Structure 1
Amino acid sequence: MSDPLPRSLDQRLDALARHPFRAKFHLRGRERVTAELSGPSTMRWHAYDLIAKRLAPAEPYKDGKQTPYRGHPVFVAQHATATCCRTCLQRWHEIPKGRELSRAERAYVVGVICRWIEREVGGSSGAPEAHS
């Protein structure tokens, strides 16, 4: 899988954000502060590390339950971008289950996650304003 152009990546993220479950995820509180203070290069490094350990193997340990909902900006991003488990990767990104992710697929997944975090931190998340 080749590295998508930012515009096509944004289009994919916009489509995912229209899914009711995925639309619930945004960086808030500690996760947002962590992303802002760490910066894009640190977030990318963390994403590569987490993907290598939790998603890249052919049969990840506890697949479907391996990604917490909170605790790190990458975890939140994984749920928002459907890169949280191999089933979601197959359904939303057409990356088949049952084999280790290629180097290009890992780079693609990290790119999706990092672009989502960038949009969240940059304020272009499209999150609706809270009304009381």
Structure 2
Amino acid sequence: MDELDARLHRIGQHPFRARFRLFGRDRAVVDLRGIETVRRHAGEIVERRLAPAAPRNDGRQTPYRGHPVFVAQHATATCCRTCLSRWHGIPAGRALDPAEQAYVVEAICRWIAAQYAPKGPPS
């Protein structure tokens, strides 16, 4: 288990974060489009909604459903800059660099893949 997996496991133990699962339409998006398309969507969402130094509506910019990435953001505490700071040690108040954006996308996609364990998500 690497550091990210250990961190996601700890976050998943939190009662609020543990409630999230992929169901219904959110799961159907992964089923129909595949994990690589969802990874690309995650990159776009993170870049647009989370990466700026002062995201618009920070703390309220991530819906609870409507796309598997949104659900995964809440489950992995990558939903706002406050959660990124508290749970992942990525400070708020400055733009995310490309490595930090890639880290957030990887956390989101690992959680989505774990929702399909042991078989894994469709390609």
1:64-99 superposed Cα distances (whole Å, 9 cap, x missing partner):
000000000000000000000000000000000000
CA deviation after TM superposition for structure 1 residue 8, in Å: 2.4
CA deviation after TM superposition for structure 1 residue 37, in Å: 1.8
- Give the 5 Å matches for 1:19-98: 19-98=14-93
1:101 to 96, 99, 102: 96
Fraction of identical pairs, as percent: 60
| Contact 1:32–1:121 (Cα < 8 Å) also in 2 | no
CA deviation after TM superposition for structure 1 residue 122, in Å: 2.8
| Residues 1:120 and 2:115 are matched in the alignment | yes
Aligned-partner Cα distance in 1 for 2:77–2:84 = 6
CA deviation after TM superposition for structure 1 residue 13, in Å: 1.3
- State TM-score, norm by structure 2: 0.92
| Contact 1:36–1:121 (Cα < 8 Å) also in 2 | no
SS in structure 2 of the partner of residue 108 of structure 1: helix
Q: Pairwise CA RMSD of aligned residues?
A: 1.3
- State TM-score, norm by structure 1: 0.86
Q: Residue type of the partner of 1:64?
A: G
The answer for unaligned runs of 5 or more in structure 1 is 1-5, 125-132
